[in-house]
């Protein structure tokens, strides 16, 4: 590792410990030449995840967009932000674990609805109404009836 102070190419690791809840490793290093210490972080390099939108366009996966959509669906509902963040983490992890570098908005939307259904039924219906673009009250009622049947069965 190159020293940030004198640019000498070699250093030794003095201390190493987990950081960011185990997502990375923090290393204290000492330069062989100038003897100054500096910190480096080692993280796993993840491949970019590309989202294929309904119109066929592609864009990078954005966890914040996912989280903001769930927050909007849960507006004025008793759902803690930590629960939504955990759902967003689970969805992102699930998408990355599939090893597909491209994922459709349909697949993401289905996973969001699946988790919101368990978290808060009102938020689920709100999200579904936007995601599935309910055209009229009948489509809305069909979704509510499915929810009620699942709850009873």
Give the percent of the chain with pLDDT over 90: 63
pTM summary value:
0.64
Question: Tokens 């219906």 sit at which residue?
Answer: 125
CB 113 within 8 A of CB 131: yes
User: Of 3-7, 94-98, 124-128, which has the strongest mean pLDDT?
Assistant: 3-7
Give the pLDDT score at 153.
Answer: 62
Q: Calculate mean pLDDT across residues 33-44.
A: 94
Task: Write out pLDDT tens, residues 98-151.
Answer: 888 999 999 999 999 999 989 998 898 888 888 777 777 777 788 788 878 877
CB 112 within 8 A of CB 131: yes
119-135 burial by CB neighbour count: b if 16+ within 10 A, else e? bbbebbbbbbeebeebe
């Amino acid at each position: 590792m190159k020293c940030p102070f004198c640019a000498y190419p070699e250093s030794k690791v003095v201390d190493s410990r987990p950081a960011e809840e185990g997502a990375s490793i923090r290393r204290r290093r000492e330069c062989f030449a100038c003897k100054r210490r500096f910190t480096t972080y080692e993280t796993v390099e993840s491949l970019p995840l590309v989202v294929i939108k309904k119109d066929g366009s592609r864009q990078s996966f954005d966890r914040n967009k996912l989280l903001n959509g769930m927050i909007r669906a849960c507006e004025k509902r008793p759902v803690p932000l930590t629960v939504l963040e955990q759902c967003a983490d689970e969805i992102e992890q699930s998408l990355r674990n599939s090893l597909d570098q491209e994922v459709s908005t349909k697949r993401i939307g289905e996973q969001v609805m699946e988790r919101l259904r368990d978290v808060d039924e009102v938020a689920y219906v709100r999200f579904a109404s936007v995601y599935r673009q309910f055209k009229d009250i009948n489509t809305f009622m069909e979704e509510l009836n499915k929810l009620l049947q699942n709850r009873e069965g």
